[in-house]
Structure 1
Amino acid sequence: MADARLIDGTAVARDIMNRTGEKAADFEKRTGAKPCLATVLVGEDPASVTYVRMKRNRCAKFGIESRHVPLPDTITTEELVGAITELSNDPSVHGILLQHPVPAHIDERAAFDAISAEKDVDGVTSQSFAAMAFGFDGFASCTPAGIMRLLDAYDVDPRGKHAVVIGRSAILGKPMSMLLLARDATVTVCHSKTTDLPSHVRNADIVVAAVGKPEFVRGEWIKPGAVVIDAGYNEGNVGDVEFDAAATRAGLITPVPGGVGPTTIAVLLEQTVTAAFRQQQIPAEA
């Protein structure tokens, strides 16, 4: 029997989406148009197709227009940048999501940075990362921002806590570290070259696992009472944390699925609606 309290990401996401739906309806009432999210998908990777479909279905449910832009996997970086630039210049599009990963021959960073900052509702551009790092106004990376919402919903104050982030990707590990630092956590970033990873994890009050390897973080590494956030999703609905063993030691833990995933999508759509209000220079009602 697990001792840890489960963090219900589905419930947290539902609250975010209900408020987002109300704001989307208010935007449509005031402008005559729905907030619009353009989803760009290069190729037909099955997982990416599924993710985009989920996001488009969620848009439809909460009053957000979804404009799907499918592109062939033979597209060049230059052509992809051109397509994204066109969306950035289209006033009827308020947010742009480039589904990642893109095919290996594409310069993903160049593609991400073609998204205008005001429409970067997925928080993937270099400008958005700088905003997170320096505390400027901008859009946060959706998964890290969703994780912060989970911590807030369960009254986990990062201030003074030792947080260990396992993973250093540009759209998860690094921005996660910046957001935790901004909330006064002491942050250790671990990765594939880290020596004696278990010792770092054993000292962590908050563990964020984002390595993309099933059950990589062993339950025995978890400090008793720690908060464990599993941002991994692997084949067979398995996260990056050895869940059953970790749950006997953690104080709070996210399940997979039903933890981080729902809040990621919720933050994406929330930021899309926020972007729509900002671009129309309409103050959103609280």
Structure 2
Amino acid sequence: MNIKKILVPIVALALSTFAFAQTTPAEKDSIYIRQVEGQKGPDKVLHAEPLYIDLIRDLGARKGEKEWNLGLGLTDNLKFDSYEALIEYEWAPIDRLGLEVELPFTFYAPVNSTISDSIPSNQLNSIKIAAQWSFFVSEAMATSMAIGYINEFELSDFRNFGSPFIKGNIYNPFFVVAKRWGNNFHSLIYTGPMIEQNFNTNKFHTTYDINTSFHYMITGTRNFIGVEFNKTFDVEDFDMTIRPQMRLGIADNLLIGIVAGIPVSRENERLSSFARLIWEPKHK
């Protein structure tokens, strides 16, 4: 038996393990960033994606990427509770282009002595289809920009389902810019108008959203803590909800996000909560 042939790989393995153990937090972050940014293909920057108003696909998406999302939420309204559920699939058919299909549901329950007939009916809110194009990605600047469009076919509630089937449409073009500061800090702005058309009256109603988020990614992991500020401007009205949040990696391709919602003005709702399960199937 050749002892040298046995000892050499064992020593090499021990040295490499010791070297990784001595790696500084900044170096570990750099290693993880290189796993995302150092692959063959077009540039891609590691960004922390907000959990409530999420992106259609990663900024700088690479061909073959895909992701399933399941979301569950609870909002404490003044007269009733609303339960939110969604299923979402997003994928990148080519480099830098992300596509998405989403089915969001809302279910309602009366609070205390509220008459059940006075609350909204349960519903499949809409069928949402979306596209997002990352037109600027710079690893050197740790910055990405994208434009996109969401089309939302609004459906009648279950009480009046099919009368009509599609009651309106929401047109939502948007712009995204994201910047990573160093290895751990992330900021993102997601903004655009939402133009709602009611097919019965053929009237349009426009609001404008500005969503800003800030995150800190935990050293050497995909986990983060952060906050979203979801702001909506309407005619003579302004609403903002603050959403502290955290994301935890359960497995290599499975993540869970937990979000709390704190409305600045409690006109119609109180506190809310939301959880998102994220599964990323392996791709070549």
For the superposition of Structure 1 and Structure 2, which TM-score range results when normalised by the shorter chain? under 0.3
Structure that is richer in strand per residue: 2
- Structure-1-length-normalised TM-score: 0.26
Identify, as 1 or 2, the structure richer in helix. Answer: 1
Larger radius of gyration: 2
- Report 1 or 2 for greater relative contact order, CA contacts < 8 Å, sequence distance ≥ 6: 1
TM-score (norm 2): 0.27
